[in-house]
Amino acid sequence: MIRFEHVTKRYPDGTTAVDDLSFEVAEGELVTLVGPSGCGKTTTMKMVNRLIEPTEGRILLDGEDISGIDPVKLRRRIGYVIQQVGLFPHKTVLENTATVPHLLGWKGAKAKDRAAELLDLVGLDPSVYGDRYPEQLSGGQRQRVGVARALAADPPVLLMDEPFGAVDPVVREHLQNEFRKLHQTLRKTVLFVTHDIEEAVRLGDRIAVYGAGRIEQFDPPATVLGAPATPYVADFVGADRGLKRLSVTPIELSDLDQPPVVHVDDPLPARLPDDARWAVVLDADDELRGWISASDAARGSGTVRDRTHRMEAWLPLGAPLRQAFATMLQHDAGWIAVIDEKSAGRFLGVLTPARLHEALRRSTAADAADVDRAEVTLHTVNTPG
Ligand code: ADP
Ligand code: MG
């Protein structure tokens, strides 16, 4: 969708902002450009909508060299969101959002309907916020209006230059989550600039890590965190990259242990299967009902149902390992149950702390070798004594 071919930008004063850059962004993909200040991210972005012209190389949009496209027409295909949103202070939120539809020649009511629909889409109730002026909004709400306005012409491409950089961390995380969901619905091709590695990891399908004027690594977040391509990247993503990686590594089937299982309608057994200390309790459809301990089972008559404890610590398959770890801590649980949301909550197995650690190590090795996680064998050094 967007393709850079050996693009270099040298400013008149001799600064080489971008040096021989080649990469491609697929249709519907969200790519984050991340790197320290001054490494050429904004320059890269502004070359896509021709606010800046490259010195060498070319940029293709949908296979078409953009140097041959009229800039005004080009920008209609590309939404642009920046940190200083640049809303018109004397226009209402609805009028600001309707700017682009108006420019496209839509008549009053149609443009307003479109604007209201977009405000709704970014989580601002048009009947509450539509008639306000920008100064009557919080920073986070202004950024939402900026996103709504950029989407107004329904462009296939969105450029976002540190759009959430000026809002406080809590609001920023909220905006990030919403934008991620919005992207999953709209499937625009997005280039998203940030200097914040956490943001880059949270949002990107792939991340381009910039050094000075060059891309040091262009990979999915888990790979950048698990197998940094250069010492520069390792340094940039930080010493806690293992922890960050938990957020982008999903629970897989091969990570799960199969504990002893009993069913709710079974008579209470004197002993649990395998003489285990506890067992998972399922119903007739293999859905999770809870757990039972060996001493519960040994006590009295009746069915398993009578002695089943509720199980609060469970997650769907595919949830990030970080959430699994947080759930263990929250419920002070030595394991969590993993279910299949796709088949009505069928129980799949349990994840233990040891298996979680193993999953992380395995996925790192798998990314480095470019194989499936299940194919990786770990060599563990046993501690002496
Ligand atoms: P980033 O967005 O990653 O912070 P920029 O793309 O804005 O980086 O800038 C990359 C480099 O180009 C920096 O060294 C910056 O000082 C320089 N630069 C940016 N714009 C200009 C300009 N108009 N003239 C000269 N140098 C510039
Ligand atoms: Mg910048």
Q: What is the 3-state secondary structure (H, E, C) of 145-193?
A: HHHHHHHCCCCCEEEEECCCCCCCHHHHHHHHHHHHHHHHHHCCEEEEE
- Encoded tokens for 109: 């009511």
Residue 100 has what pLDDT? Answer: 77
Span from the CA of 209 to the centroid of ligand 2 (angstroms): 14
- pTM over 0.85? The answer is no
pLDDT tens string 4-50:
999 999 999 999 999 999 999 999 999 999 999 999 999 999 999 99
- Mutate which of 10, 16, 43 to test ligand 1's pocket (most atoms within 8 Å of Cβ)? 43
Residue 243 has what pLDDT? Answer: 83
Identify the segments of the chain with pLDDT beneath 70.
380-385
Closest ligand 1 atom number to CA of residue 42: 2
44/52 Cα distance (integer angstroms): 9
Using a 6 Å cutoff on CB, does residue 17 contact ligand 1? yes
Residue 365 has what pLDDT? Answer: 82
31/41 Cα distance (integer angstroms): 12
Span from the CA of 357 to the centroid of ligand 2 (angstroms): 37
Using a 6 Å cutoff on CB, does residue 11 contact ligand 1? yes
Closest ligand 1 atom number to CA of residue 46: 6
- Mutate which of 7, 8, 9, 11 to test ligand 1's pocket (most atoms within 8 Å of Cβ)? 11
Residue with CA closest to ligand 1 atom 10: 40
Per residue, the 3-state secondary structure of the chain, as one string, reads CEEEEEEEEECCCCCEEEEEEEEEECCCCEEEEECCCCCCHHHHHHHHCCCCCCCEEEEEECCEEHHHCCHHHHHHCEEEEECCCCCCCCCCHHHHHHHHHHHCCCCHHHHHHHHHHHHHHCCCCHHHHCCCCHHHCCHHHHHHHHHHHHHCCCCCEEEEECCCCCCCHHHHHHHHHHHHHHHHHHCCEEEEEECCHHHHHHHCCEEEEECCCCEEEEECHHHHHHCCCCHHHHHHHCCCHHHHHHCCCECCHHHCECCCEEECCCECCCCCHHHCCEEEEECCCCEEEEEEEHHHHHCCCCEHHHHCECCCCEEECCCEHHHHHHHHHHCCCCCEEEEEHHHCCEEEEEECHHHHHHHHHHHHHHHHHCCCHHHCCCCCCCCCC
- The CATH architecture assigned to 253-358 reads Roll (3.10)
Q: Where in the chain is the domain with CATH 3.10.580.10?
A: 253-358
Closest ligand 1 atom number to CA of residue 9: 12
- Encoded tokens for 86: 């640049």
Task: Kindly identify the ligand whose nearest atom is closest to the C-alpha of 40.
Answer: 1
Residue 381 has what pLDDT? Answer: 61
Residue 384 has what pLDDT? Answer: 52
Residue with CA closest to ligand 1 atom 18: 17
Ion ligand 2 — residues with CB under 5 Å?
A: 42
- The CATH architecture assigned to 2-248 reads 3-Layer(aba) Sandwich (3.40)
Q: Where in the chain is the domain with CATH 3.40.50.300?
A: 2-248
Owner of token pair 């002993």 = 271
Per residue, the 3-state secondary structure of 193-208, as one string, reads EECCHHHHHHHCCEEE
- Encoded tokens for 178: 């919403």
Residue with CA closest to ligand 1 atom 1: 38
Residue 45 has what pLDDT? Answer: 96
Using a 6 Å cutoff on CB, does residue 42 contact ligand 1? yes
Checking 211-217 for CB contacts under 8 A at 24+ apart, the result is 211/35, 211/39, 212/19, 212/38, 212/39, 212/40, 213/16, 213/17, 213/18, 213/19, 213/21, 213/39, 213/40, 214/19, 214/20, 214/21, 214/40, 215/21, 215/23
